[in-house]
Structure 1
C-alpha cells in the first residue's frame, strides 16, 4: 500500500500527538493504546508512530483502520495528525504574535507622545507659576538697579527687600528652608555642613559662610562653614 508522504516537510521532530489521540480515544471510550491496537487491528508500534510522527510515512490501510476504530473520517484523522497542519498553525500563531507586537509598539509610541506632551505642559505650568511668584522681583529689581546706577550714594541695603521678599515667598511656596542663616555660629554637623577650610570635629563650633537648603526631609545643599578660629571672607 502507498503511504502519506510530504517531501516538502522539513520538521523532523514535531510536537507530540499523544494528547490529540487520547482525546479521540476518550470520545469512543477506548481506555488505552493497547485497547486501540486491538480495536483497530494494527500493531502498537504503528500507534506509537502516529503519536510521535503523525500521519507522515504511515500506510493508508493502517490510517483507515485507525479512523474506523476512532470513528472519525480519514480526512479528519490526517488533518489532526499532520505535520503540515502544525506548520500552518505555527505560522498563524507567529503572524498573530507579530500583529500583537506591532499593536504594542504602536500603543507604546502613542503613550510616549502623550508623555512628552504632558511633560511640556507641566514644564510650562511650572515656569508660569515660578514667574508669578517672582513677579515683584522681575518688575521692581531692574528699576532699583537703574536708580542705584544713577545715584551712587544709594546704599545696597535699601534694595535688599526687593530681592529677599519674593525669594522668601518662592522658597516658602516650594517648602524649601535654609539650614542656617549666614554668619550664625553653631556646632559642626557633617551631614548638614560642608567645611570650606581647616579641620574640625563634629560638635565643634563653626560659622556659616554660605547657607544651605533642604526641601522637606530632602537635603538640597549643605551649608558651607569654616571654623570660628579661621578668618574667612564670605
Structure 2
C-alpha cells in the first residue's frame, strides 16, 4: 500500500475563508458554469459544495471529495490541497487513492475532526471563563443590589450604574463600540439607525432610544431611533 500522510497545518478552521474563486477556476476547464451544475454532475448535495467553498473539506466524506475531484478533472490530492490547509502526500505511483487508501484517509479525517471538536470545546470553555472573570463583580453584586432596590423603592438607580462597568470593559476588550448614546439627537442614517415609528429622510434629526453596536467595520445592531420633536 502506498505511504499516506495527512497533516493539519492549522486544525482550527476559519469560517471567514472563501475558496469560491479557486472552485470557479477549476470549474472552467470542466465546462461547468454553476455550482448547481457541479452538484448535479458530481452527484453531491449543494450543502457539500458550500462546505468546499467555505474551506470545510475536512468535514466531508472522502468518497464525496473523490467524486468532486473526478468531476473537476483533478486529482484527489490536488483538490484537498487546494481547498484546505491539510496536506496530503501520496507516493508518486498514482494520484488516485485505492479503497484501502480511502479507508486510511477517512480514519485520519475522523481523527482530525475529533481534534477540531475538542479544540472548539476547550476554546469555548476558555472564552466562558475569561468572560466570567470580567463580569464577576456584576454577577455577584447585581442580585443583592436588585433586592435592595425592591426593599427600598427610594434607592437611587444612579447607585447601580457602577455595577455595569464590567460590561463596558468586556465590550472594549472585544472592540465593540456603541452607535450614539441614548437621548442624543443625531442626523438619521438608515444604514446605522432603525426608525421605530414614522417616516424620516436621511439627515433628518432623530433621537436615540436604544443604542446600536458595531465591531470594527461590521454592524452588529442598528441604533433604534424616533423622530426628534
Q: Report the TM range for the smaller structure's normalisation.
A: 0.5 to 0.7
In structure 2, C-alpha distance between the alignment counterparts of 1:159 and 1:208, rounded to whole Å: 22
Residue 124 of structure 1 corresponds to which residue in structure 2? 125
How is 1:215-230 mapped onto 2 (pairs within 5 angstroms)? 215-229=215-229
**Bigger share in strand:** 2
How is 1:5-84 mapped onto 2 (pairs within 5 angstroms)? none
- Give the Å deviation of 1:100: 0.8
SS of 1:134 mapped into structure 2:
helix
Residue 185 of structure 1 corresponds to which residue in structure 2? 185
What are structure 1's unaligned runs of at least 5 residues?
Answer: 1-92, 230-234
Spell out, residue by residue over 1:120-156, the C-alpha distance to the aligned partner (whole angstroms, 9 max, x if none): 0000001001101101101111221122222222122
SS of 1:189 mapped into structure 2:
coil
Residue 212 of structure 1 corresponds to which residue in structure 2? 212
In structure 2, C-alpha distance between the alignment counterparts of 1:139 and 1:123, rounded to whole Å: 22
How is 1:136-175 mapped onto 2 (pairs within 5 angstroms)? 136-163=137-164, 165-175=165-175
- Give the Å deviation of 1:109: 0.4
In structure 2, C-alpha distance between the alignment counterparts of 1:213 and 1:109, rounded to whole Å: 39
SS of 1:199 mapped into structure 2:
coil
Residue 67 of structure 1 corresponds to which residue in structure 2? none
- Give the Å deviation of 1:194: 0.7
Residue 56 of structure 1 corresponds to which residue in structure 2? none
In structure 2, C-alpha distance between the alignment counterparts of 1:157 and 1:130, rounded to whole Å: 25
What are structure 2's unaligned runs of at least 5 residues?
Answer: 1-93
Spell out, residue by residue over 1:146-196, the C-alpha distance to the aligned partner (whole angstroms, 9 max, x if none): 222222221222112212x11111111110100110110010111111111
Residue 202 of structure 2 corresponds to which residue in structure 1? 202
In structure 2, C-alpha distance between the alignment counterparts of 1:173 and 1:205, rounded to whole Å: 32
Question: Between Structure 1 and Structure 2, whose CA radius of gyration is higher?
Answer: 1
**Bigger share in helix:** 1
The size of the alignment, in residue pairs, is: 135
- Give the Å deviation of 1:222: 0.4
Q: Which runs of 4+ in 1 moved over 6 A?
A: none
Residue 105 of structure 1 corresponds to which residue in structure 2? 106
In structure 1, C-alpha distance between the alignment counterparts of 2:99 and 2:121, rounded to whole Å: 33
In structure 2, C-alpha distance between the alignment counterparts of 1:114 and 1:125, rounded to whole Å: 16
In structure 2, C-alpha distance between the alignment counterparts of 1:131 and 1:161, rounded to whole Å: 17
Spell out, residue by residue over 1:90-131, the C-alpha distance to the aligned partner (whole angstroms, 9 max, x if none): xxx9xx600110011101100110010000000000100110
In structure 2, C-alpha distance between the alignment counterparts of 1:152 and 1:228, rounded to whole Å: 32
In structure 2, C-alpha distance between the alignment counterparts of 1:196 and 1:99, rounded to whole Å: 62
The alignment's C-alpha RMSD in Å is: 1.6
